[in-house]
Amino acid sequence: MRCLALSLGFVVLGVGFPLLAAECPPADVILSNGHILTMDGERRVASALAIRDARIEAIGTDQEVAACEGASTRKVDLKGQTVLPGFIDVHTQPYCGPRASSAAKSTRATP
């Protein structure tokens, strides 16, 4: 199964389901018809989510999240793909980048 990984600046998925769709303001983007892994304590899987101002506003069934659709909402049909919370590698070593680049230059063959 192909996965669609979303990195959304502010991910609420691990905390639980955000607002109920009935309370949802018009979304910028709605993702639907997918498998959205919430990573919450109950390991719930939703089929749709609404995003507004780079924040997840609602998550639930396609029908529930459809209540967040506005006139300018962009709709994305996931066609059964999986959405994962954004992963952030907290074990990066930025100082290795320049060193690795210098090492690569020094090992090049000279003509």
- Domains along the chain with CATH numbers: 3-105 (2.30.40.10)
CB 58 within 8 A of CB 47: no
- The per-residue pLDDT for 40 is 83
- The per-residue pLDDT for 82 is 95
Q: Is the pLDDT of residue 4 over 80?
A: no
Q: Is the dihedral of CA 19, 11, 45, 30 positive or negative?
A: positive
| pTM across the whole model | 0.62
Q: What is the edge-to-edge ordering of all strands in the sheet holding 35-37?
A: 3-5, 82-84, 35-37, 45-46
Q: Please state, as a whole number, how many other Cβ atoms lie within 10 Å of the Cβ of residue 89.
A: 5
